[in-house]
Structure 1
């Protein structure tokens, strides 16, 4: 049996803290994995799936670190105070902590879910592999989808005309907007909007996993194009679609066991 994860607060700049969970394998790690959670409420919907996958990976011999980004979960600051640059700094902080807790030459993996994949896709100054769960190819589209949550709510009440343009104007002016209970700042919105799932850094491996309830599901054209760009840049990429629900967006907490099994297999 793998023991319960080590839960701790990692010191961050400005006297802040980041909540972390470290899942240690028995023996020498065969891989080192940093999990980057999705955006806003999708993070909460995905917590159970992430916890089960972390445990499964640890049982398979991987050292896994979960980190709540600035303004998220139980980490310091308010969501509205966080910026994309803050979250990039948190990735560097998490990688350094993972390397300190699991030293050696086992491969480093950045495991992103949805918008977490956009955050992972950067040059981190060291060779890393990527595990993508249901990746979003465009940060601009991700931001639009998020803003539409408020648009849908307002339209249900008979309003909403011109709301999307008004929210974008507020963000462009450096002000906050509130969507589905989340106060979003201009620095976070601009960073997300400019993010793309594009290859960067030293080429390594990419394991691209998606879920679908359709037996004949294939990658969308946008995903196919993004995946091809990684391959063209020299990355070894494998994609696979397994059976499962959209657990990050479901009304109730749902699980996708086939995705966890495919993840362990992909990293093994």
Structure 2
């Protein structure tokens, strides 16, 4: 019988963050912190993340999921969250894992823009599990802003909208895209993020999905991985068959991605 995750609110000053902890049956092989993707991609990915967390726990890993500030059932509205807020949430979650399982090998697991948040120097040795990582935050922000541009263009508008949104953010004003109000400090932090090596060298497991069987990593991914290797990191990478579940209209799954993840760790 599979054990249900431990659901709790982690205090964050005067606020709180919703967390789910998936405990292994015995002493964990490692601790894993999952960092979800940006905006609606988080909701689309919840089912996949939950299944992967259970699979990792069954394989002996202790896995913590956290809803970042303004996301899911955590405190604040999405429009109040900033990139430094989310970085502080990562540190908060790491401290909790340290208190629960001190001294364990640590993996930071990020999906899409969550990989950009994960790939930092956290003042300790960490490994990175990267699902469909985005090579730069600038690209991530641009893709998100294009959601509004596409909606406006479908209605016959949209001329000059991208420049207008960028000007608003640069002026310290929030913008609303696809029902999400984006704080300028969140946009600027995301835009400045880079998927580059930082901190003591460890392991990187880079896994992407493709609708086409036998597909290979794109040049941008290969270039990013080369930088990690040159910095002394032990890198593994692969592409597995599956849908872009973070962006599909209906909730979809990529079982091969879960299997590859368990094997990689």
Segments of structure 2 that go 5 or more residues without pairing to the other structure are none
| Pairing 1:203-242 to 2, within 5 Å after superposition | 203-242=201-240
Does the residue aligned with 2:250 lie in a helix, a strand or coil?
Answer: coil
Residues 191-216 of structure 1: per-residue CA shift (max 9 Å, x gap): 00000000000000000001111123
- Give 1:142-153 correspondences, 5 Å limit: 142-153=140-151
Equivalent residue runs for 1:18-167 within 5 Å? 18-103=17-102, 105-167=103-165
Say yes or no: does 1:3 pair with 2:7: no
TM-score, structure 2 length as denominator? Answer: 0.99
Q: Which runs of 5+ in 1 are unaligned?
A: none
How many residues of Structure 1 are paired with residues of Structure 2 in the alignment? 265
- 1:252 is paired with a residue of what secondary structure? coil
1:56–1:260 Cα contact (<8 Å) kept: yes
What is the rounded CA distance, in whole Å, between the counterparts of 1:210 and 1:225 in structure 2? Answer: 15
- For 1:73-102, what per-residue CA distance to the aligned partner results, in whole angstroms no more than 9, with x for missing partners? 000001010000000000000111112122
- Deviations, residues 130-182 of structure 1 (Å, cap 9, x unaligned): 00000000100000000000000000000000000000000000000000000
TM-score by length of 1: 0.98
Q: 1:2·1:26 contact (CA, 8 Å) conserved in 2? A: no
Deviation sequence 1:199-244 (CA, Å, 0-9, x none): 0000000000011111231111111111110000000000011111
Q: Give the stretch that moved more between structures: 211-220 or 230-239.
A: 211-220
Correspondence for 1:192 = 190
Q: Does structure 2 retain, via aligned residues, the 8 Å contact 1:71–1:80? A: yes
Is the Cα contact below 8 Å between 1:2 and 1:58 reproduced in 2?
Answer: no
Deviating 4+ runs (over 4 angstroms): none
Residue pair 1:2, 1:25 contacting (<8 A) in 2 also: no
Mapped partners of 1:261, 1:94: distance in 2: 25
1:52 positional shift = 0.3
Q: How does 1:257-268 map to 2 (within 5 A)?
A: 257-267=255-265
Question: Could you report, residue by residue, the CA deviation over 1:93-145 in whole angstroms, capped at 9, with x for unpaired residues?
Answer: 01111121222x32100000000000011100010000000000010000000
Q: For the aligned residues, what is the CA RMSD?
A: 0.7
Alpha-carbon distance, 1:2 to partner: 3.5
